[in-house]
Structure 1
């Protein structure tokens, strides 16, 4: 599953563009706009029932998000990604998060932030305590997992690191939960999330103990789970039915 970055909605006049962006993203990930296809602007205008101005704004945002690319002849096309592209993006996230973990451990973290992170992990424990996870449980995990990674980023106390992590997770499929929901189709789904949760606790423990090298190593290893999920998603017989995976070239 591709987890999109947050959409800015501070400008009330952009509401139509935001709605168009959400719908276009949905169409891309569902395959209604196939990988490599040129976007027919007029057809999108007719389909969504909005004017060309918000459609153009939505297309520009999706290009910034990485799902579309500008074409030499003008307009936009749906991007495709090699498996190596996605793997490199995940590796980059692991590297930056590893640095964030080391800095958090070396600089120290305020008690309220640590307490909030622990509370988040306790909520994840509750989700994973179920013997089998349904779709709602997986989506709950995704929400809490993202919250923990956001808090984790805050622990570094570095606007530079925060900015770079935000940039990295804008790369398609590189977010911490980029492939989590796909695990619902795997018999080992819950086991893999339990491993990830143990790594969450281990890195938080390393940060509290001010063990920078250990914290960094754990987060680098944490990204390896996403690499494994990528390989399994691409090679799964059901990959064609998984949102967004059809954009990845093997």
Structure 2
């Protein structure tokens, strides 16, 4: 574990004050400003963000509970490192679980409030992408949009066990719906188009199509993420037998 805090270069200075301290540090970690193993020094972070140490300390505790940071006595917090294989495994499992959730939602139908929540997330995503460019502030916004879409489908599946298992997969932070790591415009547009197609299949009561589309969607997110981390495509899984 490194004992230093990497000082962000001038263009990478803290996001605007419209973001909370937790959101700002989370976004910096996910964007790679703070690399795995780097120690998060309260004083330097408070200077970087222009706030007191109290909200920084609270933010570090929150991010540790999310799994983005790890704590060691007498050393403090550091950015947690996950093996690429762990991230790939989390996405592999998520693809199976979420595709099942989409199938259940198509079979069991959406409540009016669920339909409204998904349509709102689609409209918000459309508006965000209409700008033609994305900023670090937009990473937080899209994370909320992405979470609303997927979480509503989990609710519509009407299966508590399934929801619990999805949340377990998200204990790997890079696999969480809120944590958007790969944030290139074309990737985000492709993912959001997937959301539209998945929703269409659900409201048209096409469970097998919804299942297939969701599985391909999660798999494509995995590929984009691994490429952003390693510069290479995600490893292929050998079929059993």
Query: Alpha carbons of 1:62 and 1:139: their partners in 2 closer, same or farther (altered >3 Å)?
Result: closer
Alignment check: 8 A CA contact 2:109 2:205 kept = yes
Q: Aligned match of 1:225 in 215, 220, 226?
A: 220
Higher RCO (C-alpha under 8 Å, 6+ residues apart): 1
Partner of 2:124: 123
Note the residue ranges of structure 1 that are not aligned, 5 or more in a row: 1-18, 184-188, 237-250
Task: Tell me the secondary structure at the aligned position of residue 109 of structure 1.
Answer: coil
Partner of 2:188: 193
Partner of 2:167: 166
CA RMSD of aligned residues (A): 3.7
Partner of 1:95: 96
Trace 1:14-33 onto structure 2 (pairs within 5 A). Answer: none
Query: Alpha carbons of 1:44 and 1:101: their partners in 2 closer, same or farther (altered >3 Å)?
Result: same
Q: Please give the TM-score of this superposition, normalised by the length of structure 2.
A: 0.65
Q: Could you tell me how far apart the structure 1 residues matched to 2:130 and 2:62 are?
A: 39
1:111 deviation in Å? 2.7
Query: Alpha carbons of 1:104 and 1:64: their partners in 2 closer, same or farther (altered >3 Å)?
Result: same
Partner of 1:205: 200
Count of residue correspondences: 205
Alignment check: 8 A CA contact 1:207 1:215 kept = yes
Note the residue ranges of structure 2 that are not aligned, 5 or more in a row: 1-19, 47-51, 232-241
Query: Alpha carbons of 1:112 and 1:50: their partners in 2 closer, same or farther (altered >3 Å)?
Result: closer
Alignment check: 8 A CA contact 1:105 1:215 kept = yes
1:222 deviation in Å? 0.6
Task: Tell me the secondary structure at the aligned position of residue 176 of structure 1.
Answer: coil
Q: Please give the TM-score of this superposition, normalised by the length of structure 1.
A: 0.63
Alignment check: 8 A CA contact 2:182 2:224 kept = no
Partner of 2:17: none
Alignment check: 8 A CA contact 1:139 1:181 kept = no
Structure 1 range deviating more: 25-34 or 95-104: 25-34
1:228 deviation in Å? 2.1
Alignment check: 8 A CA contact 2:37 2:79 kept = yes
Trace 1:59-138 onto structure 2 (pairs within 5 A). Answer: 64-68=65-69, 79-130=80-131, 132-135=132-135, 136-138=137-139
